[in-house]
Structure formats: C-alpha cells, structure tokens
Amino acid sequence: MSKALTPSTQDYLEVILQLSENNHSTRITDIANALNITKASATQAIDTLINEKMVLKEKYGPVSLTKKGELAALKVKKMHKIIREFLVTVLQVDADIANKDACLIEHVISPQTIAGMIAFLEKGNYQISSDLNLKKAAELLKSDL
C-alpha cells in the first residue's frame, strides 16, 4: 500500500519534474542544489520515492519519474500554480514571495479551498497567466492525492 506523500517528498517530486522538463537528465546533485540540501539527504529521500514506485534510478545513475510519480508531481505543480496565481493576481503579493508561500501552502490546503481559488480566478476579471489551464487543474485535483 502506498503511503500518503509528505510535504518533503512532494517537494522532491516537484523539482524532479521541473528539472526533467528543463534538462536532459536529472541528477542527485541537481536535486540537492534545487532544494538546498546535501546530496546525502537527497539520496535518502530518493530512496523512499523509489520504494513508493514514484521514481526510477540505478546506483550512480540519473533520476526519473515513473508514470505514477509524474502524475503525483503534476498534481503538486498544479496546486502550486493555482495558489501562486491567486496570491499574485488577487492578493497582489510579489511574485517571489507568492512562490515561496505557494510552496508551503500547497502541502496543507484542502481541496475545497483550492476549488475556491479556482472559482474565484475563473469568475474574476484578473489576468490569468497563459499556461494555467483552470479546467484541467480542477480535473486533476479530483483524483485523490
């Protein structure tokens, strides 16, 4: 049985997804740098994600997401995006601060509150950043985390 992901492991998934979008191959060092932790900690965290069948990796090799891991990562990313968007457009929070807050809030917020943000963004006449597809986001969030 797969356990609920912790905030920490969700962060790992998120950066692995991001790194794999930008770069060819994702390495322990990249992850450690992105999260500002040591390589030892990254190795350890990746091990638990491997046990959860979320990532694939051979010894000394690069890290990649499984389908399951990618889905989970996409969910986290969507949450992040919605929250950030909401903070920036509705609450007028500076982009970098909004980003940090989103990173923390995304792990603790309820589906209802996220839904509220989505609804608010949809009906309001705020400028939505182009790559935020709210319909898709709402869909994704229906599946359980």
Partner DNA sequence: TAAATAAGTTAGGTAAGCCTAACATTTTTT
Partner DNA sequence: AAAAAATGTTAGGCTTACCTAACTTATTTA
Output 61 or 116, the one with its CB closest to its own copies. 116
Helix (H) or strand (E) holding 94: none
CA-CA distance, 3 to 5, in Å (whole number)?
Answer: 6
CA-CA distance, 65 to 23, in Å (whole number)?
Answer: 14
Footprint on residues 83-122 left by its own copies (CB under 8 A): 87, 90-94, 97-98, 100-101, 104-105, 108-110, 112-113, 116-117, 119-120
Output 7 or 116, the one with its CB closest to DNA. 7
Contacting range for DNA; rule: CB under 7 A; set: 30-38, 84-92, 114-122, 126-134: 30-38
Interface residue with DNA, options 13, 16, 19, 46 (CB under 7 A): 46
Query: Which phi and psi (to 5°) does residue 63 adopt?
Result: -100, 135
Name the minimum Å distance from CB 126 to DNA.
33
Output 32 or 137, the one with its CB closest to DNA. 32
**Nearest residue to 108 (alpha-carbon basis) of 3, 11, 39:** 11
Output 109 or 141, the one with its CB closest to its own copies. 109
Query: Which phi and psi (to 5°) does residue 125 adopt?
Result: -95, 60
Footprint on residues 30-49 left by its own copies (CB under 8 A): none
CA-CA distance, 109 to 130, in Å (whole number)?
Answer: 24
